[in-house]
């Protein structure tokens, strides 16, 4: 039998606010345990949550970018369960009146994924399990960090589609400034709902939910594994049991999760502490009008406006800080295609060599723009400019100072180049003989020798011309 | 609606309560009364009624995204029945 896989996603994304969703505790990652907690986020009696305005703003921006209808009126509900990561014993979420509904994401290849809803909620704390004491250590710093949960319809049929969707979602949210989407720090987390059915069938099979997916690679592997597992069960005539399963990275397999199985009955009810949210049409319109240019829109513009290749445009826009940097260099007067070449070439190489991310480029855009200008005007040749970039990359980017201090200005004096060329030919009679014997390669060698005599600073065209002229002379 | 003792047990489990035989019967009886009351409400035709709002005449109560001081950790952990100076300690939660 031919089977098809049906997948829906629930993605949790931490919003880039400074403070938690219902209190003023910091959301910064990596603080000492239990230092970002207060009576509100730890659920002490009598504490009153108050909604963070910026969390609403960021969630609405995300909803608009995902093509959702933003509800004019929404409210918060309590999702009740007992688990040590949740000191209040309920999570504030939105069940009955979510913030956004009915969006769509185009993932390419003619495929669109429907978004069922996007709602605001709070994150839970973190548990560390101590293998020696049979105890768990609870850190509540993450309790109350604002999240949006984005729920898709079961529209995916393969792992590749899921990854394409997540890549696009991540890029969208990063461009919006809604979240940094660092999957390794847990600011983007994804649960996968998966079932299989005979190809062509309209009915959905029994699904399982996959958790603990710590990377895009893990998500893809867990999907492939779980689809295979379910197909094998069904082909042996055994049923798929509806359950939550945990992906084990080391064992490359999914296992049933037991701990929360009784907690699935969440007994939602409206939160009496939080008044409803009524959003004004005019405010929503102003937000919609102020949405920033998205990655794919930028990539299209780079091609039409600046003549970049599709590949270069995609690479530049694949990370927002890189696109911002590139645009800053262009803004400072660098020809766009040259700027793209430098950013994608020397700059990325320099970052890679230092293990740096694009948001931490130490070289100011003005320094790269200056370097490109010096090459364009013939004051530096390209190889020297690359050496200068490497030299000033971590040192504040004083291009002119470095060029002056090291006497690196391009040699464009024909007499100086000719002199060096004569000396190089005189010093390399064998190469000259080879050239005369018809070995074309010998000329390249001689050009290199001339360049070396001029510390690599000469205008390459001038060197070529000088060597040509002298070879012609020597015939 | 009939509330069996098994259902009462299940609800008690969700609330992390342990009931003995007498309590279980008592709770089942009370829950049954509550559900009967709900059933009376449920018999009304509310198809055209707007969803009930909160009782307080408030909306859009928001605060700016400005940090406020958190509790000193010692003060926070003072509430814990078991702690180790940095963390709350709980019985091992099985993942």
pLDDT in tens, A277-329: 999 999 999 999 999 999 999 999 999 999 999 999 999 999 899 999 999 99
A284 domain residue, yes or no: no
pLDDT number for residue A382: 85
Beta bridge partners of A51: B62
List CB contacts (< 8 A) between B89 and chain A: 135-138
- Mean pLDDT estimate for chain A: 90
Average pLDDT of the residues in A205-222: 90
Residue A143 has pLDDT above 80, yes or no: yes
Judgement on whether residues A387 and A444 belong to the same structural domain of the protein: no
pLDDT, one tens digit per residue, over A236-286 is 999 988 888 888 888 888 888 765 545 467 888 899 999 999 999 999 999
Judgement on whether residues A33 and A181 belong to the same structural domain of the protein: yes
**Final residue belonging to a domain, choices A224, A247, A279:** A279
Judgement on whether residues A181 and A151 belong to the same structural domain of the protein: yes
Strands A146-152 and A269-270 come out as unpaired
The token pair at A210 is 């996959």
Average pLDDT of the residues in A441-463: 82
**Final residue belonging to a domain, choices A351, A383, A405:** A405
Average pLDDT of the residues in A102-114: 94
Average pLDDT of the residues in A55-64: 96
pLDDT number for residue B72: 95
Are A19 and B67 in contact (CB < 8 Å)? yes
B81: contact with A, CB 8 A cutoff: no
> Lowest-confidence range among A107-116, A220-229, A277-286, B46-55?
B46-55
Residue A139 has pLDDT above 70, yes or no: yes
Judgement on whether residues A334 and A461 belong to the same structural domain of the protein: no
pLDDT number for residue A465: 86
Nearest to A19 among B61, B66, B90 (CB): B66
pLDDT, one tens digit per residue, over B30-79 is 999 999 999 998 899 988 887 766 677 888 999 999 999 999 999 999 98
CB A194 within 8 A of CB A208: yes
Strands A244-248 and A69-70 come out as unpaired
Beta bridge partners of A91: A79
A344 domain residue, yes or no: yes
Judgement on whether residues A69 and A177 belong to the same structural domain of the protein: yes
Judgement on whether residues A322 and A218 belong to the same structural domain of the protein: no
pLDDT number for residue A336: 94
List CB contacts (< 8 A) between B87 and chain A: 33-34, 128, 137-139
pLDDT, one tens digit per residue, over A367-389 is 899 999 988 887 788 888 888 88
Average pLDDT of the residues in A216-240: 93
Judgement on whether residues A253 and A333 belong to the same structural domain of the protein: no
Tell me what percent of the residues of chain B surpass a pLDDT of 90. 35
B61: contact with A, CB 8 A cutoff: yes
d(CA A360, CA A222): 33
d(CA A474, CA B46): 104
Query: B5-42 has which fold?
Result: Histone, subunit A (1.10.20)
B 13-52: CB under 8 A from A: 13-16, 51
The token pair at A162 is 């899921």
pLDDT number for residue B62: 95
Are A138 and B70 in contact (CB < 8 Å)? no
Average pLDDT of the residues in A104-113: 93
The token pair at A69 is 């209808």
Judgement on whether residues A326 and A440 belong to the same structural domain of the protein: no
Judgement on whether residues A393 and A434 belong to the same structural domain of the protein: no
Domain span including residue A421: 414-474
Are B93 and A136 in contact (CB < 8 Å)? yes
Are A134 and B92 in contact (CB < 8 Å)? yes
**Final residue belonging to a domain, choices A250, A279, A308:** A279
> Lowest-confidence range among A120-129, A201-210, A457-466?
A457-466
Angle at which helices A441-453 and A460-474 cross, to 10°: 120
CB A125 within 8 A of CB A140: yes
CB A246 within 8 A of CB A255: yes
Are B70 and A53 in contact (CB < 8 Å)? no
Residue A200's Cα: distance from chain center in Å?
Answer: 36
Average pLDDT of the residues in A163-173: 94
State how many domains chain A has.
Answer: 3
CB A52 within 8 A of CB A94: no
d(CA A39, CA A220): 40
Judgement on whether residues A400 and A420 belong to the same structural domain of the protein: no
Tell me what percent of the residues of chain A surpass a pLDDT of 70. 98
CB A12 within 8 A of CB A149: yes
List CB contacts (< 8 A) between A139 and chain B: 86-87
Are B93 and A83 in contact (CB < 8 Å)? yes
Supply the ipTM of this predicted assembly: 0.84
Min Cα separation B32/chain A (Å)? 17
Nearest to A135 among B13, B54, B89 (CB): B89
List the domain boundaries for chain B: 5-42
d(CA B27, CA B38): 16
């Amino acid at each position: 039998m031919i089977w098809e896989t049906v997948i829906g996603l629930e993605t949790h994304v931490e919003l880039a606010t400074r403070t938690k969703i219902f209190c003023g505790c910091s959301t910064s990652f990596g603080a000492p345990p239990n230092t970002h907690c207060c009576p509100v986020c730890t659920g002490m009696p009598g504490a009153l949550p108050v909604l963070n305005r910026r969390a609403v703003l960021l969630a609405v921006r995300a909803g608009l970018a995902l093509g959702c209808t933003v509800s004019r009126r929404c409210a918060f509900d309590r999702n009740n369960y007992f688990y040590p990561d949740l000191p209040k014993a309920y999570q504030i979420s939105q069940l009955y009146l979510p913030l956004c509904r009915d969006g769509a994401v185009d993932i390419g290849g003619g495929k669109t994924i429907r978004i069922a809803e996007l709602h605001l909620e709070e994150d839970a704390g973190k548990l560390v399990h101590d293998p020696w004491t049979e105890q768990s250590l609870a850190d509540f710093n993450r309790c109350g960090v604002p999240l949006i949960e984005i729920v898709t319809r079961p529209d995916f049929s393969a792992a590749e589609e899921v990854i394409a969707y997540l890549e696009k979602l991540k890029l969208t949210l990063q461009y919006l400034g809604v979240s940094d989407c660092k999957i390794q720090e847990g600011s983007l987390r994804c649960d996968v709902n998966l079932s299989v059915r005979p190809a062509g069938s309209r009915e959905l099979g029994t699904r399982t939910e996959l958790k603990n997916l710590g990377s895009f690679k893990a998500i893809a592997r867990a999907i492939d594994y779980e689809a295979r597992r379910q197909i094998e069960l069904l082909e042996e005539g055994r049923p798929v049991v509806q359950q939550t399963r945990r992906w084990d990275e080391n064992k490359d397999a999914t296992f049933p999760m037991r701990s929360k199985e009784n907690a699935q009955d969440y007994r939602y009810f409206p939160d009496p502490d939080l008044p409803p949210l009524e959003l004004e049409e005019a405010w929503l319109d102003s937000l919609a009008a102020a949405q920033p240019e998205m990655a794919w829109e930028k990539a299209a513009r780079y091609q039409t406006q600046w003549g970049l290749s599709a590949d270069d445009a995609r690479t530049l826009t694949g990370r927002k800080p890189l696109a911002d940097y590139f645009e800053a260099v262009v803004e400072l007067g660098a020809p766009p295609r040259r700027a793209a070449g430098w950013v994608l070439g020397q700059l990325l190489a320099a970052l890679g060599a230092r293990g740096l991310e694009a948001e931490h480029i130490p070289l100011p855009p003005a320094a790269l723009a200056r370097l490109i200008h010096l090459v364009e005007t013939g004051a530096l040749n390209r190889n020297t400019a690359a050496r200068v970039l490497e030299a000033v990359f971590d040192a504040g980017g004083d291009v002119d100072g470095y060029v002056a201090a090291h006497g690196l200005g391009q040699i464009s004096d024909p007499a100086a180049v000719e002199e060096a060329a004569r000396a190089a030919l005189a010093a390399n009679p064998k190469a000259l003989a080879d050239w005369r014997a018809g070995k074309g390669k010998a000329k390249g060698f001689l050009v290199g020798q001339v360049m070396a005599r001029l510390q690599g600073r000469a205008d390459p065209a001038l060197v070529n011309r000088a060597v040509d002229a002298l070879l012609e002379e020597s015939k | 609606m009939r509330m069996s003792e098994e259902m009462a047990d299940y609800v008690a489990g969700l609330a992390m309560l342990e009931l003995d035989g007498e309590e279980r019967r008592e709770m089942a009886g009370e829950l049954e009364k509550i559900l009967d009351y709900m059933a009376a409400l449920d018999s009304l035709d509310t198809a055209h009624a707007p969803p009930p709002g909160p009782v307080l005449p408030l909306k859009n109560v928001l605060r700016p995204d400005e940090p406020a001081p958190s509790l000193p950790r010692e003060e926070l952990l003072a509430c814990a029945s078991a702690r180790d100076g940095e963390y709350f300690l709980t019985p091992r939660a099985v993942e």
